[in-house]
Amino acid sequence: MSNPTPTPNDLEAYWMPFTANRQFKAAPRLFVAAKDMHYTTHDGRQVLDGTAGLWCCNAGHGRRPIVEAIQKQAAEMDYAPSFQMGHPGPFELANRLVEISPADLNHVFFTNSGSESVDTALKIALAYHKAKGEGARTKFIGREKGYHGVGFGGISVGGLGTVRKQFASQLPGADHLPFFYNRATMGFSKGEPQTGAEAADALESLVTLHDASTIAAVIVEPMVGSAGVYVTPKGYLKRLREICDKHGILLIFDEVITGFGRLGSAFAATHYDVQPDLITTAKGLNSGTVPMGAVFAHDRIHDAIVNGAPENSIELFHGYTYTAHPLAVAAGLAALKLYKDEDLFKRAADLAPYWQEAIHSFKDAPHVVDIRNTGLVGGIELEPRPDKPTTRAYDVFVKAYAKGLLVRTTGEVIALSPPLIIFKAQIDELFSILRDVLKDTA
């Protein structure tokens, strides 16, 4: 039977990601335009963006310098191959990026998403150990509740059961650190919890279990984002660094969310003063305008792989058709300039105390059982309804949208991460709407 001809606005053909498709299509929520801090809906309403799109539009929406850079590049050159060829853009962008990266992470491999960045970093870790004559180091250590994208490598090191369960039988082998968060002792912390760093010592047990000579890398989010905004305890990341150094294990920071100003610094590694060996990024790299990601590599990793390969040979058999796409690069250069010209990373740091007090004012709000924050990120955890998990938070999401506010929910957590251009008055508006919604939610 032939398919019926779809109408222009037929919703059926598009299979939406991470979405309850039938539920959405019964009552669709559609954006048709965006500018600065607001989206415009299909029915003409303005919605305050409380999530920077999806943790990514750090400079806000429709910023003219980025838009014009994309338009100019599209007219000049739409695409250039990146295998055995190049164009000037990515070389310039890489140089601008290493200017703000942690010391000695001076090499950048471009990808098209956070998921691709994670899989790239895992491959680089394996290639590094092989180049060093330690090819037996093939095991990765992730962490419970970690989210590292949807590639098979990223799912393997990730620790979210909801993401893993459909594909568990085909995942590469990895082990996981226990989750560090204890609500009884860390609940309602402002910024980094003062206790809990000892949770990192579980890595020593995994080293004993697997033998250090088999472990390639440990990968963690410096701040857990997609699982519900969990801030690592003070000293936790430094302890991981010490243990990795002791056993010759690489430490990878997944900064797809925390990179480019979210915590008030260019990277969480800088914010927490911990030097990883590899950093994965995407999202804020060009403020979410064109798909792009990047992996930052320490000099010794790059040099071992590139300088250790035979002359005139491809050193790393990895890459993507759209690596360093001209439009994505142009957007990246423009976004970095905008971040610098408007001092947006410092702006986030300056607003963080105001944001912190605003979100913690919800401690006595209906249904709230925990609040977590750092930089311009916050998570408000709600008490689940008996026998109906996640439904209360989802209802808050839908009601907030109806009242003109975009939030994100993960499980029972309302996650907030606005563009870095937000004003104090807009922070007040965001939390005022959210307070009204919580009062109206059973």
CA atoms within 13 A on the CB side of 62: 10
* CATH class assigned to 68-341: alpha beta
CA 138 to chain centre: 25
Express each pLDDT in 34-73 by its tens digit: 999 999 999 999 999 999 999 999 999 999 999 999 999 9
Span 415-432, mean pLDDT?
98
Express each pLDDT in 86-111 by its tens digit: 999 999 999 999 999 999 999 999 99
Cα end-to-end distance, the chain, whole Å: 47
**Can you give the residue ranges of every domain in the chain?**
21-59+343-439, 68-341
User: 168 in the Ramachandran plot: left (φ > 0), alpha (ψ -120 to 50) or beta?
Assistant: alpha
Express each pLDDT in 269-328 by its tens digit: 999 999 999 999 999 999 999 999 999 999 999 999 999 999 999 999 999 999 999 999
250 CB burial (10 A radius; 0-12, 13-18, 19+): buried
Express each pLDDT in 104-153 by its tens digit: 999 999 999 999 999 999 999 999 999 999 999 999 999 999 999 999 99
pLDDT of residue 8: 64
Query: How is 105-169 classified by DSSP, letter by letter?
Result: --EEEEESSHHHHHHHHHHHHHHHHHHTT-TT--EEEEETT----SSHHHHHH---HHHHTTTGG
Fold (topology level) of 21-59+343-439:
Aspartate Aminotransferase, domain 1 (3.90.1150)
Express each pLDDT in 155-211 by its tens digit: 999 999 999 988 988 888 899 999 999 999 999 999 999 999 999 999 999 999 999
Q: Does the pLDDT value for residue 214 go beyond 90?
A: yes
